[in-house]
Amino acid sequence: MKWTEDMDARLLHSMIEESRIDNRVDGSWTSQAYSNIVDHLHSSGYVAVTKNNVKNRQKVLKDKWREVHDLFSGLSGFAWNPVSMTFHAEDEVWMDLIQSRPTAAKWRVNSIKHYDLMVELWAADRATGRGVRTARQARRQRVGPRVSVDLNQNIEYIPEQPDWKRYRDPTPPSPPPSVDEYSP
């Protein structure tokens, strides 16, 4: 299937809507979300679109977005231009980037259609690298310092058992049922 720019826009808008109504759990779409997305595309005139087409197109779009997002996030000197749908920077900034990462050259001339929609859809799920810890670091933080406990330390202290016979319930007892109450 050949996807058009209009199809991509409708797909992304539909995905954003499904995400807003919580049909996306831990970054994965529910069956209901896929059904709603396909229905939306069908009602827009794209009746040949299937759930597998949606899954495959999402992968293509997300891979493209991930490449661009990972390349430009955190770089200074670049600004997103929503009109031309490209990243802009001074020539020398571009040259420095292309020298260090030659694959970035294509993004100087190629537009990234619907980048703003993809950011809205996937940026919150993207790991930033902040707060990264090894398993050992996480375990230490969770467990805290090791504490030594001597189970024989207070062996002589045995708490007294409460005297339940002297305990008085604060609610008064109910009167016993009368036979007359249950008679016809």
Nearest 5°: the CA angle 98, 87, 93 is 40
Residue 64, pLDDT score: 93
Residue with tokens 């970035």: 104
Residue with tokens 């670091």: 137
Q: Which residues are bridge partners to 79 per DSSP?
A: 88
User: Which two structure tokens, joined as six digits, stand for 175?
Assistant: 């009167």
Nearest 5°: the CA angle 83, 44, 81 is 10
Instruction: For residues 167 and 160, give the distance between their C-alpha atoms in angstroms, rounded to a whole number.
Output: 15
pLDDT tens-digit series, residues 8-41: 999 999 999 999 999 999 889 999 999 999 999 9
Residue 27, pLDDT score: 85
Residue 73, pLDDT score: 85
Instruction: For residues 155 and 49, give the distance between their C-alpha atoms in angstroms, rounded to a whole number.
Output: 74
**Phi, psi at 77, each rounded to 5°:** 95, -10
Residue 22, pLDDT score: 93
Residue 132, pLDDT score: 45
Q: Contact at 8 Å (CB) between 77 and 93?
A: yes
User: Which two structure tokens, joined as six digits, stand for 96?
Assistant: 């420095």
The closest alpha carbon to 37, from 53, 61, 60, belongs to 53
Q: Which residues of the chain have a pLDDT value below 50?
A: 132
User: Which two structure tokens, joined as six digits, stand for 38?
Assistant: 């396909």
